[in-house]
Amino acid sequence: MLKAEPLTGHIGAEIVGVDLSEPLTNTLGAALRQALARYLVLFFRDQTLDLAAQKRITAVFGPLMRIPYVEPSPQDPDVIAVLKEADERDIGVFGGDWHSDFSFLERPPAGSVLYAVEVPPYGGDTIWSNQARAYDTLPDDLKALVDSRRAVHSGAPYGKAHAPEDPQALSRSIKMRRGDPEADRETLHPAVRRHPESGRKALFVNPIYTIRLEGMSEAESRPLLDRLYRHATRPDFTCRVRWAPRSLAIWDNRMTLHYAINDYDGHRRLMYRTTFAGERPG
């Protein structure tokens, strides 16, 4: 049966004794969903998977979902190839800031699956931060601020109104559609959301996509959001994963933020990423 070895006291577990290339039984699927609700990030080593197998695993957690603004892999429209080539230096990477995925959508993804194909000899780790723990430990004034308040999200990097003035050049190996006014549409979500299965409450603000708090201007919101982000990304709430070829991570996008560390110029990194759908945050 499934054995989970915690990576830290608050988030992440390595799952051992499971071969994900084998057909997934209902019992194993239920155990994996339970483990994800508990640890928020599951990590597996030495898995030999093709894209069809990765999609089967993804579907255990929710319906496969295609994400907007990012060109999928030519091999499969449900897959994004997260790639940086060895000759791409001093540029940004996909996911290279603290964020949860696509929170500006009415129904942001419930989670994602990332499979390592080629990794640098050092660096290129990914970090996740537990936003349930962040919520539980918020100072009283910040808790009072976010409880019962909504935050306003927009697809800032892909739109016009909130596009960064001087965006860092991004890896040519991942194609994004930018400057689309449709991405400026504002979506309001509770700043604290509840996990539909575990019932845990988590802070739900996003350094990339949250533009302000409801009832406040951007200028009024800025210092408060900055305080929330500083707290949300405290190292105490995080786990950091060192990739090897054929490692796989599954994460809960409702209860975590994540960050792809861009510290491996001169080396190639290729990961396949799939996404599973979620509900309207509540």
- The footprint of ligand SIN (CB under 6 A) covers 82, 94-95, 112, 114, 126, 258, 260, 271, 273
Residue at shortest CB range from ligand SIN: 95
Dihedral sign of CA atoms 160, 164, 240, 199 in order: negative
Nearer to ligand SIN, 41 or 138 (CB): 41
Question: Active site includes 78?
Answer: no
Does 185 qualify as catalytic in the annotation?
Answer: no
Q: What are phi and psi of 54, to 5 degrees?
A: -60, -40
User: Which residue, 3 or 175, is less far from ligand SIN as judged by CB?
Assistant: 175
Length of the chain: 282
Task: Point out which residues pair with 41 in neighbouring strands.
Answer: 251
Q: What is the DSSP string of 124-151?
A: --EEEEEHHHHHHT--HHHHHHHTT-EE
Which of 61, 78, 58 is CA-nearest to residue 70?
78
Q: How far apart are CA 268 and CA 99, in angstroms?
A: 23
Task: Return the number of the residue (187 or 274) whose C-beta is nearest ligand SIN.
Answer: 274
- For ligand SIN, give the closer residue by CB, 7 or 142: 7
Sort strands 256-260 and 201-203 into parallel, antiparallel or unpaired: unpaired
Shortest distance, CB of residue 98 to ligand SIN, whole angstroms? 10
Pick the catalytic residue from 10, 153, 254, 273.
Answer: 273
User: Dihedrals φ, ψ of 67, to 5°?
Assistant: -100, 150
Question: Least distance from C-beta 27 to ligand SIN, angstroms?
Answer: 29
How far is it, in rounded angstroms, from Cα 246 to Cα 77?
A: 21
Give the nearest distance from C-beta 123 to ligand SIN in angstroms: 11
Nearest to 249 by CA among 274, 279, 232: 274
Q: 99, 162, 200, 254: which one is catalytic?
A: 99
Q: Which of 200, 212, 254, 258 is catalytic?
A: 258
136 is catalytic: no
Question: What is the smallest separation between the CB atom of 80 and ligand SIN, expressed in angstroms?
Answer: 8
Of 101, 153, 200, 212, catalytic: 101
Question: What minimum distance in Å lies between the beta carbon of 114 and ligand SIN?
Answer: 6
Active site (annotated) includes residue 99: yes
User: C-beta of 275: minimal distance to ligand SIN in Å?
Assistant: 9
How many CA atoms lie less than 13 Å away from 267 in the CB half-sphere?
Answer: 11
> Which segments of the chain are extended strands (E)?
3-6, 13-16, 41-44, 80-84, 111-118, 126-130, 150-153, 187-190, 192-194, 201-203, 210-213, 238-241, 248-252, 256-260, 269-276
The residues annotated with a catalytic role in the active site are: 99, 101, 258, 273
